A and B are shown apart, each in its own frame.
Chain A
Amino acid sequence: MVMKRSYTIETVKLSKRYNDYWALKDIDLTINSNVFVLMGPNGAGKTTLVRILSTQLLPTEGLAYVLGYDVIKEANKIRKRIAVLPQEARPIPEATPWEHVYFYLIARGYGFSTAKQETNKILEELGLWDVRKKATIYLSAGLRRRTILAAILATHSDLCFLDEPTLGLDPTSRLTTWNYIIKLSKRGEKFFITTNYSNEAESLGENIALLNKGKLIAYGSIDKLKKLIPFKLKITIGVQYEKLPNNIKNLDLEYKIIARGESSIIYLKEKNLDQIISLLPPNYNFSVAEISLEDIFILKMSEGAEL
């Protein structure tokens, strides 16, 4: 098969099987954006895809090219140009953030003075400077996560795979991390990010893919993804689904109601807005908004799938 190798990442029918279970099935992807975000529920296959593309795991079937190189036959060429943040990576408890970043860079072949410069820089950028000399065992889970993230980002690799990079980070640290990733991406560094946070995907991703049960179910820019959904608006009502009047549940319109704890969400077309609102009892609290990436995620995942 002749492959175009101009993409950052390209996969053809990429599949991975563990015993009888297909963790990934027939993934066809072409990625050229600087920041690509892969979203999906737990167990969707996101980590398996990252592990294959970052040369940690062999696929069962299919082809994959990263930075133009075959992940199976040319892994060493890929490894020189990538870095990966695994989902549950934990630092060595007794080593400090500074030691982690500096010696990881040294291990990758950086010069001693460059490694020192880059270490100091990234620790300041990610707010780790004040704790740089503390063994990571004494740091919070968020700071430990940031330590590993700092080591990966400090490499300035052509392509970084970040598997749920902001897992366990507080909102401020998450924002700092996003901003830094955006800054690096503007300089031409590329990122493949997996996340469960739709706001993270919206903030970072030029292109977003949705993965569920090992299959790619949607892929494109946020605008393109929005077009995959027949609804443009949503009404959030402060009433449980079970308590909604039957005339709202049984309308002869194209719409969808999803229960969400103490409230219900009606996804609808713009032209049906007035009609549905007129059916709501006057004592109901509700708000109207455009659908977001989270809504696309919820709607696509609920298409024939249990949530």
Chain B
Amino acid sequence: MNLNLNNFLKACLGICYLNITSLLRSPLWIPSMLLPPLAMVIIFFIIGGKPLAIHALIGAVIASTANTGLYLPRLVILLKHSQLQDIFVASPVGKFSYMTGLALSRLIGSSPAILTFITALLIIKPVDASKISVLLLLIFLTWLMCCLIGFSIATYIKNIVHADAISNLLSLALILLPPIYYPLNLLSKNIYAYTIALAIPTTHLAEAARIFVLESPPPINPSIHTLSIIVYIIIFAILSSRSRWREP
């Protein structure tokens, strides 16, 4: 592939910047990103005290990162609808640069929330540098997987009126309901819920963070989480690569 790194980075920068202008002009986005996960942490603190709040904090880190991708369909459809995507299609900017630029813009948008929850986690439960590196790797994988999910779904949304609803449903299905804010072993008494939870890609990211960063006792073999993360990333990479840059 004849990929000029300099041009790739410039394309990402240009697209990323144009899509964070809304964030730069409205400081309200920071509390809007920060408060929903914080509310979940508070709820779990009330229910289960500090131990469950720590799990919820890990969940808040994963959820804040996952949101970057899950709200991508909305952005993709909006840019398509405003014909800005067409301008980039008929230009040297390739599909991969375009997608990366959009994904980065959402990551920047979520970064204050992600950094806040990491800081809170480290204050409440100090961990060594190696575990911080693992957490950062898991944040990267969460961002990657959820962006790929977002792009895959955006490919199939034809009507802009569905964009918001689909992003909200994704958030419900991949963040709120599965064991993201709470540990998987809370579902161990219900085999159906437990099995469904294991089929959800984000479960493995949150569980891996608990096992590798918090050193929680693993309810299942940790390698299952690692393998699942890799498999899901490959599946969604294939699905998102099928998205059409040029209309048939």
> Footprint of B on A, CB under 8 Å?
51, 54-58, 75-76, 79-80, 82-96, 99-100, 103-110, 135, 148, 151-152, 155, 161
Contacts and interface: CB of A to CB of B under 8 A. Distances in A.
B246 interface: yes
B246 A107 contact: no
A105 B24 CA distance: 20
A94 B91 contact: no
Question: In the complex, which of the residues B13, B26, B86, B101 has the most CB atoms of chain A within 10 Å of its own CB atom?
Answer: B86
Given A55-B246, A80-B92, A106 B13 contact: yes
B90 to A, nearest CB: 4
Chain B contact patch, size range: 20 to 34
Nearest to B19: A92
Interface of B: 4, 6-7, 10-11, 13-15, 17-19, 21-22, 24-26, 82-84, 86-94, 97, 101, 246-248
Contact of A58 (B14, B26, B248): B248
At the interface, is chain B mostly helix, strand, loop or mixed?
Answer: helix
Contacts of A105: 14
Contacts, number: 112
Contacts of B22: 92-94
A90 B24 contact: no
B196 to A, nearest CB: 39
Contacts of B26: 94
A94 B21 contact: yes
A107 B25 CA distance: 21
Contact of B11 (A56, A80, A87, A109): A109
A56 B90 contact: yes
6 contacts: A83-B87, A85-B87, A86-B86, A94-B21, A94-B25, A108-B14
Contacts of B248: 58
Nearest to B94: A76
Given A106-B14, A107-B15, A161 B83 contact: no
Contacts of B97: 107
A108 B86 contact: no
Given A57-B247, A94-B21, A89 B87 contact: yes
Contact of B90 (A55, A91, A104): A55
